[in-house]
């Protein structure tokens, strides 16, 4: 019980073809593949961002502090059209 035999698999495939139609199945498979590629590339980009943002060595005491790079806010993953640099407020209380 719980195992699918060849007869059940063929029956499921026939029902899928009847429901969606043979014409739409290639388009559905193509869009599924495209979605999988996008997901894979976004996961890869997130992993590379994490590796780049991790500091390699802790800063040594007595060295001059560097200006931090401006951060970028993105509205959605992969949406480069809405990305914009963020200006950080400066600390005016320092001497």
Report the pLDDT value the prediction gives residue 21, as an integer from 0 to 100. 83
Q: What is the CA radius of gyration of the chain?
A: 26
pLDDT at residue 54 tops 80: no
Report the pLDDT value the prediction gives residue 53, as an integer from 0 to 100. 77
Q: Is 2 helix (H, G, I), strand (E, B) or coil?
A: coil
The more confident residue out of 71 and 27 is 27
Q: What are the sequence ranges of the domains in the chain?
A: 25-52
Report the pLDDT value the prediction gives residue 56, as an integer from 0 to 100. 56
Mean pLDDT of the chain: 75
Rounded CA gap, 69 and 55, in Å? 14
pTM of the model: 0.39
Q: How far are the Cα atoms of 16, 32, 80 from residue 10, in angstroms, in the given order? A: 10, 22, 44
Q: Report yes or no: 72 and 80 within 8 Å, Cβ to Cβ.
A: no
Once rounded to an integer, what is the mean pLDDT over residues 53-74?
Answer: 59
Residue 52: how many other CB atoms lie within 10 Å: 8
User: Which ranges of 21-65 would DSSP assign to H, the alpha helix?
Assistant: 24-53
Q: Report yes or no: 72 and 84 within 8 Å, Cβ to Cβ.
A: yes
Q: Is 60 helix (H, G, I), strand (E, B) or coil?
A: coil
Report the pLDDT value the prediction gives residue 9, as an integer from 0 to 100. 92
Report the pLDDT value the prediction gives residue 26, as an integer from 0 to 100. 86
């Amino acid at each position: 019980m719980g195992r699918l035999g060849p007869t059940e698999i063929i029956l499921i495939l026939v029902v899928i073809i009847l429901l969606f139609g043979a014409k739409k199945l290639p388009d559905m498979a193509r869009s599924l593949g495209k979605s999988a590629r996008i997901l894979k590339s976004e996961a890869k980009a997130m992993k590379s961002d994490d590796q780049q943002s991790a500091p390699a060595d802790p800063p040594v005491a007595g060295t001059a502090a560097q200006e931090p790079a401006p951060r970028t806010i993105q509205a959605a993953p992969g949406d480069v059209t809405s990305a914009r640099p963020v200006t950080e407020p400066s600390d005016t209380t320092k001497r």
